[in-house]
């Protein structure tokens, strides 16, 4: 135990905060880490470039292009991250050992290697059907397409994924969160806003008609405000997705890049907690739009974490990261983002939350003063203690640079 930590523990004690309890809680909070930071959301199942209104910018050398490379990079990231982790896969990361199949015919066997990878490391797996970067996306539409062949293809994909999600849960012994997000929308003003949403609804109903174990698989539905090239209309809007999730008793997912820039997900969490057993988050950093910058230890990330912690909802919120930066070392991007989420959670756990709630009802002046004071409390020493107890290096930059020299620079 460092001197710095001992002093910090005393400081927090004066606020009535037990740092030991905070550290103990944090080590069991699972963060679901998105695999797609490692290869700029490309995957292995098609040669298509990234579509669906999302974009990775940058051309930093050394990106993973094979399952082996992605797994090796992910391992290095895991080694440099404290706490409990899960891996979040997209269907496009299927590994075909013999014949490749279409996304409508995906089977558990195409993810066998991922299951082996996860089991060897004691990780759970979350999953996402991939409704983008594929020739069957027609006129930017998938589950809402008016073309029955297209719509059916993607319904079959969703059904196939549900079975794979159950296989993940059964193999790893950890529940699998299966998140549905579609890019469907129009660049310009549509004449019919109802039709596409009605078809999306029907498609979701069809996918969910597959029998699955609700204690093992949590289906989530992610809304969006707009995508690049799809600025005028988004089928899976916030109202659609939240209403559908509530009507069908699935779990709503909020990605904090998917709202207008002055709308804050931190303010939405409490409302959703009042009406849902579980909720899910994609934590990202939107800069002026859904840019998916690397998550930082910033105000909104901290505010999101506070909402989870002070509402006693750590076991009701599925926390996942979702961003992609190709302009810097991808492993560093991965680690910085995930650690930032964990730092924000620790920061939240170190707030005298009951005392602050009390002040909100009794003395708003004191509330402001105390909230400001807590910002400069010796948080860093507690975070470093956490890293030490988890046997994880503080200086990941050094490790990442060494990996870059040895491994990434050798890649073509
Ligand atoms: C896109 C959504 C979605 C994707 C991933 C790759 O705007 O945020 O979650 O980022 O599925
Ligand atoms: Zn997302």
pLDDT in tens, 258-307: 999 999 999 999 999 999 999 999 999 999 999 999 999 999 999 999 99
For residue 224, which atom of ligand 1 is closest to its CA?
7
pLDDT given for residue 130 in this prediction: 98
Domain boundaries, the chain: 30-351
204 is written with which tokens? Answer: 């979701």
Q: Check: CB of residue 393 under 8 Å from CB of residue 33.
A: no
Question: What is the number of the ligand 1 atom nearest to the C-alpha of 323?
Answer: 10
Tell me whether residue 236 is exposed, middle or buried, using C-beta atoms within 10 angstroms of its C-beta: 0 to 12, 13 to 18, 19 or more. buried
CA–CA distance, 26 with 386 (Å, rounded to integer): 9
Nearest C-alpha to atom 6 of ligand 1 is from which residue?
A: 41
181 counts as catalytic:
yes
Nearest to 290 by CA among 327, 265, 311, 317: 265
Which pTM does this prediction carry?
0.98
Q: HSE-up of 407 (CA within 13 Å, CB side)?
A: 20
Tell me what pLDDT residue 412 has: 77
Fold of 30-351: TIM Barrel (3.20.20)
Q: Which ligand 1 atom lies nearest to the CA of residue 36?
A: 6
- CB-based contacts of 384, cutoff 8 Å, min separation 6: 2, 4, 5, 394
Query: pLDDT (tens digit, 9 = 90+) per residue, 31-89?
Result: 999 999 999 999 999 888 899 999 999 999 999 999 999 999 999 999 999 999 999 99
Q: What angle do CA 396, 402, 404 make, to 5 degrees?
A: 100
Told to judge if 282 belongs to the known catalytic residues of this protein, a careful annotator would answer yes
What's the gap in Å between 121 CA and the centre of ligand 1? 25
Under 8 Å between Cβ of 217 and 175: yes
User: Which residues of the chain fall short of a pLDDT of 70?
Assistant: none
Q: Which of 137, 140, 222 to mutate to test the pocket of ligand 1 (most atoms within 8 A of CB)?
A: 222
State residue 297's pLDDT score.
Answer: 98
Contact call for residues 171 and 115 (beta carbons, < 8 A)? yes
pLDDT at residue 241 in the model = 98
167/217 Cα distance (integer angstroms)? 9
Contact 278/215 with Cβ under 8 angstroms? no
């Amino acid at each position: 135990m460092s001197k710095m930590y001992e002093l910090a523990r005393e400081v927090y004690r004066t606020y009535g905060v037990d740092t030991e309890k905070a550290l103990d809680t944090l080590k069991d909070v699972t963060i679901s880490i998105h695999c797609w930071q490692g290869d700029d959301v490309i995957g292995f199942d098609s040669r298509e470039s990234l579509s669906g209104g999302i974009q990775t910018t940058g051309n930093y050398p050394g990106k993973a292009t094979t399952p082996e490379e992605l797994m090796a990079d992910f391992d290095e990231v895991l080694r440099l991250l404290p706490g409990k982790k899960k891996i979040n896969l997209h269907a496009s990361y299927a590994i075909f050992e013999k014949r490749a199949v279409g996304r409508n015919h995906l089977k558990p066997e195409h993810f066998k290697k991922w299951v082996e990878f996860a089991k060897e490391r004691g990780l759970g797996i979350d999953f996402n059907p991939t409704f983008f970067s594929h020739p069957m996306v027609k006129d930017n539409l998938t589950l809402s397409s008016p073309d029955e062949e297209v719509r059916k293809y993607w319904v079959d994909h969703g059904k196939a994924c549900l079975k794979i999600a159950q296989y993940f849960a059964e193999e790893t012994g950890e529940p699998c969160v299966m998140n549905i997000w579609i890019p469907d929308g129009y660049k310009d003003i549509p004449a019919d806003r109802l039709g596409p949403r009605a078809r999306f609804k029907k498609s979701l109903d069809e996918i969910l008609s597959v029998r699955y174990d609700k204690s093992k698989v949590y289906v989530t539905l992610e809304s969006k405000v707009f995508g690049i090239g799809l600025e005028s209309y988004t089928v899976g809007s916030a109202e659609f997705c939240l209403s559908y999730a509530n009507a069908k008793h699935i779990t709503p997912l909020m990605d904090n890049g998917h709202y207008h820039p002055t709308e804050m997900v931190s303010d939405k969490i409490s409302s959703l907690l009042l009406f849902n057993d579980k909720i899910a988050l994609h934590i990202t950093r939107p800069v002026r739009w859904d840019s998916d910058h690397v998550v930082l230890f910033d105000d909104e990330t901290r505010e999101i974490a506070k909402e989870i912690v002070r509402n006693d909802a750590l076991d009701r919120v599925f926390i996942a990261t979702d961003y992609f930066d190709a302009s810097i070392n991808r492993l560093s991007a991965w680690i910085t983002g995930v650690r930032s989420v964990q730092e924000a959670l620790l920061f939240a756990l170190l707030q005298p939350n009951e005392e602050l709630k009390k002040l909100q009802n009794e003395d708003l002046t004191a509330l402001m003063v105390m909230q400001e004071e807590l910002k400069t409390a010796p948080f860093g020493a507690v975070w470093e203690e956490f890293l030490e107890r988890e046997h994880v290096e503080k200086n990941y930059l050094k490790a990442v640079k060494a990996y870059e020299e040895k491994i990434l620079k050798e890649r073509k």
